[in-house]
Homo-oligomer: A and B are copies of this chain.
């Protein structure tokens, strides 16, 4: 046998021994941008957007009619004013191509008009199954029912359209941050696929059993579950601390030539509320997204 043929055969055999996981890894590494550091930087930057958006919503009081389905009726429309504003603004942005970016997730994906702009080549980073993970219904629920009443003043100034526009802004930045969990999961998976692969396979069973039977099965599976793998208590504590600090810094009253502590403690949005909301909802929902994504990572 010719030496070159032997080399080719060895190469072929070596190549075939690369696991499917590694092949996917190589294939989707079209973008060098995806590192744990770049993902973390983006999450940190998104905290600023979330804090800004809450401060801007807090410019208006609660403005309850915005959320009251009986407040107005429009031909061909039902629901509250905020639903109308979110749905119709999403439609405008969909035509302009917003949801072509896999990092963006609409709150009303049904009947969304198609993009009218030339397609853009976003880096292919995620498993195609990512498209089915959308927790916006839950985000909508916790934003309006858990968060909003805690950080806006009671009252009514009539600016319901502007209020709804501000709510949309909050929803969009929260949605973007929480669904960024897909990229977090992808980068963690790539870095530690040897740990994740068995956990995914085991957890898929436990996940199905959880819904089919009861908690008992879950408890019996390997403790190294996906959720354990995805949880870093020290990082989460730091995030909560940082968002509180951002709420203090961005929500203070800035005065020229006055750096005294006179206004200390007066913030446009309570830093403790932001921190608690991150701990109770933003971080857990992000991890939900990570788990949901990883369960399909080997599809």
Residues of A in contact with B (beta carbons under 8 Å apart): 45, 48-49, 52, 55-56, 59, 71-72, 74, 81, 84-85, 88-89, 92-98, 100-101, 104, 116-118, 120-122, 158-162, 164-165, 169, 238, 241-242, 245-246, 249-250, 252, 254-256, 268
Q: Is there an interface contact between A81 and B56, defined as CB atoms closer than 8 Å?
A: no
Residue from B122, B159, B255 within 8 A of A242 (CB atoms) = B255
* Interchain residue pairs A-B with the least CB separation, the first 10: A120-B158, A96-B161, A98-B161, A88-B92, A52-B52, A242-B256, A72-B117, A74-B116, A241-B256, A93-B161
- What's the minimum C-beta distance from A152 to chain B, rounded to whole angstroms? 15
- What's the minimum C-beta distance from A237 to chain B, rounded to whole angstroms? 9
- What's the minimum C-beta distance from A91 to chain B, rounded to whole angstroms? 8
Residues of B within 8 A of A254 (CB): 48, 242, 245-246, 249
Residues of B within 8 A of A98 (CB): 159, 161-162, 165
Known: A85-B96, A246-B254. 16 other contacts (CB 8 A): A49-B56, A52-B56, A52-B250, A81-B96, A84-B92, A84-B96, A85-B92, A85-B93, A94-B161, A97-B161, A98-B161, A104-B162, A242-B254, A242-B256, A245-B254, A250-B250
Residue from B49, B89, B165, B245 within 8 A of A256 (CB atoms) = B245
In the complex, A100→B157 CA distance in Å? 12
Residues of B within 8 A of A255 (CB): 242
Q: Is there an interface contact between B71 and A45, defined as CB atoms closer than 8 Å?
A: no
Could you name 25 residue pairs across A and B whose Cβ atoms are closer than 8 Å? Answer: A45-B59, A48-B55, A49-B56, A52-B52, A52-B55, A52-B56, A72-B116, A72-B117, A81-B96, A84-B95, A84-B96, A89-B89, A89-B92, A93-B162, A93-B165, A96-B161, A96-B164, A98-B165, A101-B158, A101-B159, A104-B162, A117-B161, A242-B256, A246-B254, A249-B252
Residues of B within 8 A of A121 (CB): 158
A81-B49 contact given A246-B254, A254-B249, CB 8 Å threshold: no
Which of chain B's residues has its CB closest to A52's CB?
Answer: B52
In the complex, A218→B104 CA distance in Å? 56
Residues of B within 8 A of A169 (CB): 169
Q: Is there an interface contact between A71 and B161, defined as CB atoms closer than 8 Å?
A: no
- What's the minimum C-beta distance from A155 to chain B, rounded to whole angstroms? 13
In the complex, A92→B80 CA distance in Å? 14
Residues of B within 8 A of A89 (CB): 89, 92
Q: Is there an interface contact between B95 and A74, defined as CB atoms closer than 8 Å?
A: yes
Q: Is there an interface contact between B117 and A81, defined as CB atoms closer than 8 Å?
A: yes
A122-B158 contact given A49-B59, A242-B255, A249-B254, CB 8 Å threshold: yes
Residues of B within 8 A of A94 (CB): 161
- What's the minimum C-beta distance from A52 to chain B, rounded to whole angstroms? 4
Which of chain B's residues has its CB closest to A41's CB?
Answer: B253
A97-B56 contact given A72-B118, A88-B92, A242-B255, CB 8 Å threshold: no
